Structure 1
Amino acid sequence: MKLNFLFFIVFGLCYYNVFSQEKKIENLDEIILTSNRIEVPFSENSRTIYVISSEDIQNSTANNVADLLQQFTGVDVRRRGVDGMQSDLYIRGGSFDQTLVLIDGIKTENPQTGHHTMNIMIPIENIERIEIIKGPAARIYGQNAFTGAINIVTKKTINTQLTGELAYGSYHTGTVAVTGGINLKNSSHQVHVSRKVSEGYRYNTDFENRNVFIKSKFNTSSTPIDVIATFMDRKFGANGFYASPKAKDQYEETQSSLVGVSTSLSSNNFTFKPKIYWKRGQDMYEFIRDKPEVYRNLHITNKIGGEFNTTLDSKIGMTGFGVDVAQVFISSNNLGDHDRTMITCFLEHRFSIFNEKFDVTPGVALTYYSDFDFHAFPGIDLGYKVSESFKVYGNMGYTYRIPTYTDLYYSSPTTVGNINLNPEKALSEEIGAKYISKKFTINVALFYRDAKDLIDYVKEKEEDKWKAENLAEVTTKGMETEVQYRFDLSGFQQKFNMGYTFLEDNILEQDLPFSRYSLNSIKHQLTANFDSQFLKYLRQNIAFRFVERPDGTSYNVVDFKLTAMYKDLELSGMFNNIFNTEYTETNLVPMPKSNVLFILKYTFK
């Protein structure tokens, strides 16, 4: 494993401080993890979950969610291009179709393809925290949470202020952004508007990205009603992004919209949380830019849904039950026009026994899809609190993913879908332990997944078209460990994170001579981050990541951020890939070498 010398220096400094500091660190607020039904403190949850706080986000070397998630172990974000313009999200060796993204608990999956999962990412300025839920989550969130889920929690309110941002950097990349908030007598409102442009780091990788985010809270003095609305418009050259690396003139435009309304009603030991939402996606792809007559796809998807969840706290524990009803539509010149009704019922109960040292949470998700059979997916979480700081846990559950419309109906000169596909299914198991104190946190987990009916593209003869089939059975085993340490130095708080993931996949069934299924998940992944401050007006952050794939290819990348602060003015320099590493993350698309972005922010209060 080749590591840069700078990383050893950073680690050495952190190691010294871990064992030499004796100053008291202030208590950290106990985070209540967001759940549509049963909500428990982070330290009491019996699953592997990592929380990225707003402080972590603000101080990180990333300026978008895709780059941010890369800095945490077990999460594999494979980018095409820069600034999160197009990226795929993987957790624990799953596929980009097997990870669910939620915004304030609203499911944002795209029925066309998982390639669009990251298109709905909201501006990091409006994020309170990000919860990374690893392992089977179908019992909690429903389908698509096959290997895990990412829940983005937006800020409840922001101070009455207005922040302007200007940025400029390599490849003539520029940003103009405004974020504002106002708190009134019985309501609060926040707005973000931004535009990013770039000429691109190589031929046909230019882009334009426009974001609008609005969140309002009404009736704050009694029963608050939250309204969220976001719109993202992306236009970008897609040199080698899809098809073949030789396809240099590809072009894509995507739009993502989300509108949601939610509230919470409580009475004694009873809580009812309804929400309704609408999500729209649009994807326009040209094989040759500005020549739609050669090959052009246009897909428009809509999802209208409502989720109604209830929690009942009683002498025998906490019961959560709810129903999620949604209708999805797609209109496409390639995939056709289709619609689907989805109904999922949830039931779970948390027992706390033996003086609340031992917790058991069994549950089940019952699903109905108008174009698939009825399915039931049970699961169970177990935990034992050895002490106030130390807990061991385990969980097991069935999970699933229904085929996307691309899997079912796609047609091109080389590839066809299959309307007879069955949902992918898996049984996942996990055991782990975590230690949480004011200064030090460590989490270790071992996991195993047996997945069946995985969708593969196969053919019998070389001249045949690739066709989607339920063929592959794959077992995945692995381990993860995460360490976080906070310490005080010279009156300022420092923070160090390190994580390691090992994965091993094994294909048990694959009979046809030609298969497109490629096990290209992470085999070894090491991430580290040191967020430090030694002077009043200066803060720095350095992030390191090492990735090795099963075929032996590997790379390590170091990013650095330096921020100067004076009153309401902030100037940052982001220095990415400072050692000029040559690497690809997916589809043989080369990532940029060393590049820089300077950001100027001023807050009017």
Structure 2
Amino acid sequence: MRFYIPFIFMAFCVLHANANEDSTAVDLGGITIMENRLEIPFNKVSRNISVIQRKAIETTPARSIQEVLAFTPGVDVRQRGVSGVQANIGIRGGSFEQTLVLLNGIKLTDPQTGNHMMNIPVPFQSIQRIEVLKGPGSRIFGQNAFAGAINIITELPETKSLNIQGFGGDLGMRGGHVIASLPVGKYKQTLSISHDASDGHWYNSDFKVSNVFYESGYELNDNHEFHAMMGFSDRSFGANGFYTNAFPDQWESLQTYLSSLSHTYRKGNFYLQNRAYWRRNVDEFRLRRNEPEFFTNNHISDVLALEINGAYTSKWGTTGLGIEGRDERIDSNNLGQRDRQFLGLFAEHRVEFLNKFDARAGIYSNLYDEFGWRHFPGAEVGYQLNNYSRFYSNFGMSYRIPSFTELYYEDPSNFSNPNLLPEEAWNYEFGWKIEKNKMRGEVVYFYRFTENLIDYTRNPSDLIPNPNRWTPGNISQVTFRGVETAFQYLANWGGSQAKLRELSLSYNYIDADLVQAEGVESRTALNALTHQVIAGLQAEFLQKLEFTMKGRYMERMALDPYFLLDSRLDYNRLKKLGFFLEVSNITNTDYIEAGFVQMPARWAKVGFMVRLD
């Protein structure tokens, strides 16, 4: 594996930093991980969880959630274009179908296909933080959290504010957002509107993405609180190479609707939350953009869900219970009219004992009308060696039901397979965390044994493009194992004129015993990450300029490795008027992340920010 000079330099800086003492601390202990029942301080969680905070979201050279996640250790983001117009998110070698995405705890699963799970109707600038759970999440969130889960969290401001941003750049990039917060007494509310567009980086790759998001909350009294969300996303894009290279004029248009209403009751040691939500995705896909009569798919998928989650804390620990009911439907000229129902039951308990130990165990039981009851247990144990060092271990079983696309979708490039079985896996994890002074680090080993893994494959051909169709099928047994490491150091070297603020370095390795027939192409599973190196630094100049640089080395099983270097410069980021400059792919790397889409060469954008409080 090749290591580039920026990585060597950043690694040297991190190792040098560890030898110095300073009173500044990398303190994440104040963050509470927002699960649906138990709320656990970050420094007492016995899982590998990455928390991307607001500052990192603002200063990372990125314009979308997808691009920010690309700099997260252990997360594989495979984009089909810039600004996350469409991207697949994998965790620990899992496919995009095996990752669950949530918005404030509400599941954004699309029964049609995981390709649409990142159609999130929230402007990027409205996000306060992102929590990335690596490993099985079925016991916590349900059946789609097979390899991991991503919870996107927004926040209702206490004061009035107006935030405006605009930008433009290469590839015909342009866009902006407006976020207004207008609390009235105990009623808090925020309205966010954003628009991003580009002329595209190659033939038929233009896009337009618009989002509208409204969030409100009302505190009736000390015990009762109501919360509502409504969102709409409209995106259309030229899809050259997205799904097949046989039709360069592919085009797609998507509209996503989301609404939710929740009630939370807290009194003493008791917590109860009831909520209902609805999500609709409208998808029009054409094989020839300007000839809809040649081949057009129209899909409308709906998800309606009800959840009740509660927790009670006593001298024996904290007990969490939950129940969910989901109805998933699709009306499609290709997939037909389909519907399915789920019932999920959750039970878990967490206890601390002997001063330094904590344990958590639970089970998720799922009733699906086609496969009946399935049960998925899991447990965690942690040992706090001292105030700054912690060992932990956990195991759990995960589960995923095939999407409607995997079961029924067919076109000139794809077959369906209505006989697919659900994916199941046993997962084990061992980790060590350290958080001392200015340094934070984590080392993790994980193991996942999967049965009935679903993957699309096709036979080889001497013709270009390959005329054979992709067909989904169950691979009998597959084992993934890997090591994840991540280190962060708040250096604060220098003076008021120039200061090196932060250094970070991570390395992730995944090995899979996938045995592929010679020449057979894989769309998802056989393209998992094997090596991932991410390094970053952040500096400050004249107390007004913030400079962030991040580099990534990515090596997948069946694709050529590549290195990317991105940077961002902010001026007066937290003031009333600020400016920024981003440069992506500084190294001018020639690479492909997903499908057959050749990603763009070096490109840049510049913008302004206005903050009024």
Match of 1:586 in 2: 594
The one of 545, 548, 552 equivalent to 1:541 is 548
Match of 2:89 in 1: 89
TM score, norm. by length of structure 2: 0.94
Q: Structure 1's 513 and 168: CA in aligned 2 closer, same or farther, altered over 3 A?
A: closer
Whether the 8 Å contact between 2:243 and 2:596 is mirrored in structure 1 is no
Match of 1:346 in 2: 346
Q: Structure 1's 202 and 568: CA in aligned 2 closer, same or farther, altered over 3 A?
A: same
Equivalent position SS for 2:82:
coil
Equivalent position SS for 1:256:
strand
2:139 and 2:203 map into 1 onto residues whose CA distance is 45
Q: Structure 1's 581 and 21: CA in aligned 2 closer, same or farther, altered over 3 A?
A: farther
Q: Please say if 1:243 is aligned against 2:244.
A: yes
Whether the 8 Å contact between 2:156 and 2:190 is mirrored in structure 1 is no
2:19 and 2:123 map into 1 onto residues whose CA distance is 37
The one of 584, 605, 610 equivalent to 1:602 is 610
TM score, norm. by length of structure 1: 0.95
Single out whichever of 99-108 and 215-224 deviates more from structure 2: 215-224
Single out whichever of 290-299 and 499-508 deviates more from structure 2: 499-508
The one of 531, 535, 540 equivalent to 1:528 is 535
1:597 and 1:529 map into 2 onto residues whose CA distance is 20
Match of 2:483 in 1: 479
The one of 495, 507, 527 equivalent to 1:500 is 507
Match of 2:284 in 1: 284
Q: Structure 1's 497 and 121: CA in aligned 2 closer, same or farther, altered over 3 A?
A: farther
Matches for 1:402-421 after TM superposition, within 5 Å: 402-421=401-420
1:522 and 1:190 map into 2 onto residues whose CA distance is 39
Whether the 8 Å contact between 2:527 and 2:559 is mirrored in structure 1 is no
- Give the drift of 1:233: 0.6
Unaligned runs of 5+ in 2: 462-466
- Give the drift of 1:459: 7.6
2:11 and 2:38 map into 1 onto residues whose CA distance is 38
1:602 and 1:461 map into 2 onto residues whose CA distance is 54
Overall identity of the aligned pairs, in % = 35
Q: Structure 1's 374 and 175: CA in aligned 2 closer, same or farther, altered over 3 A?
A: same
Match of 1:572 in 2: 580
Whether the 8 Å contact between 1:163 and 1:602 is mirrored in structure 2 is yes
Match of 1:397 in 2: 396
In the alignment, residue 297 of structure 2 is paired with which amino acid? N
Match of 2:152 in 1: 152
1:333-354 alpha-carbon deviations (Å, 9 max, x no partner): 1000111111100001112111
1:525 and 1:220 map into 2 onto residues whose CA distance is 48
Q: Structure 1's 161 and 336: CA in aligned 2 closer, same or farther, altered over 3 A?
A: same
Matches for 1:159-178 after TM superposition, within 5 Å: 159-178=159-178
2:164 and 2:96 map into 1 onto residues whose CA distance is 35
Whether the 8 Å contact between 1:137 and 1:399 is mirrored in structure 2 is yes
Whether the 8 Å contact between 2:171 and 2:201 is mirrored in structure 1 is yes
Whether the 8 Å contact between 1:51 and 1:131 is mirrored in structure 2 is yes
1:366-418 alpha-carbon deviations (Å, 9 max, x no partner): 00112322111111111111112111111111111001001111122453322
Whether the 8 Å contact between 2:70 and 2:77 is mirrored in structure 1 is yes
Query: Please, what is the CA RMSD of the aligned residues?
Result: 2.2
Q: Structure 1's 520 and 465: CA in aligned 2 closer, same or farther, altered over 3 A?
A: closer
Whether the 8 Å contact between 1:455 and 1:472 is mirrored in structure 2 is no
Equivalent position SS for 1:97:
helix
Match of 2:336 in 1: 336
Matches for 1:349-388 after TM superposition, within 5 Å: 349-355=349-355, 357-388=356-387
Match of 2:138 in 1: 138
Equivalent position SS for 2:97:
coil
Match of 1:115 in 2: 115
Single out whichever of 588-597 and 417-426 deviates more from structure 2: 417-426
Whether the 8 Å contact between 1:459 and 1:513 is mirrored in structure 2 is no
Whether the 8 Å contact between 2:502 and 2:538 is mirrored in structure 1 is yes
1:158-191 alpha-carbon deviations (Å, 9 max, x no partner): 6412122121100121113211112221111111
Single out whichever of 331-340 and 174-183 deviates more from structure 2: 174-183
1:481-502 alpha-carbon deviations (Å, 9 max, x no partner): 1111123343678222211110
2:132 and 2:457 map into 1 onto residues whose CA distance is 33
Q: Structure 1's 132 and 27: CA in aligned 2 closer, same or farther, altered over 3 A?
A: closer
In the alignment, residue 380 of structure 2 is paired with which amino acid? D
Whether the 8 Å contact between 1:440 and 1:486 is mirrored in structure 2 is yes
Equivalent position SS for 2:420:
coil
- Give the drift of 1:66: 0.5
In the alignment, residue 180 of structure 1 is paired with which amino acid? A
- Give the drift of 1:469: 3.1
In the alignment, residue 584 of structure 1 is paired with which amino acid? I
1:274-298 alpha-carbon deviations (Å, 9 max, x no partner): 1111111111111011211111111
Q: Structure 1's 437 and 263: CA in aligned 2 closer, same or farther, altered over 3 A?
A: farther
Single out whichever of 156-165 and 299-308 deviates more from structure 2: 156-165
1:511 and 1:78 map into 2 onto residues whose CA distance is 24
Match of 1:45 in 2: 45
In the alignment, residue 488 of structure 2 is paired with which amino acid? Q
Q: Structure 1's 560 and 516: CA in aligned 2 closer, same or farther, altered over 3 A?
A: closer
Equivalent position SS for 1:224:
strand
The one of 559, 563, 568 equivalent to 2:570 is 563
2:209 and 2:596 map into 1 onto residues whose CA distance is 24
Matches for 1:177-216 after TM superposition, within 5 Å: 177-216=177-216
2:460 and 2:56 map into 1 onto residues whose CA distance is 51
- Give the drift of 1:120: 1.6
Q: Please say if 1:226 is aligned against 2:217.
A: no
In the alignment, residue 532 of structure 2 is paired with which amino acid? Q
1:220-263 alpha-carbon deviations (Å, 9 max, x no partner): 6532211111111101111111122x421111111112111223
1:383 and 1:35 map into 2 onto residues whose CA distance is 18
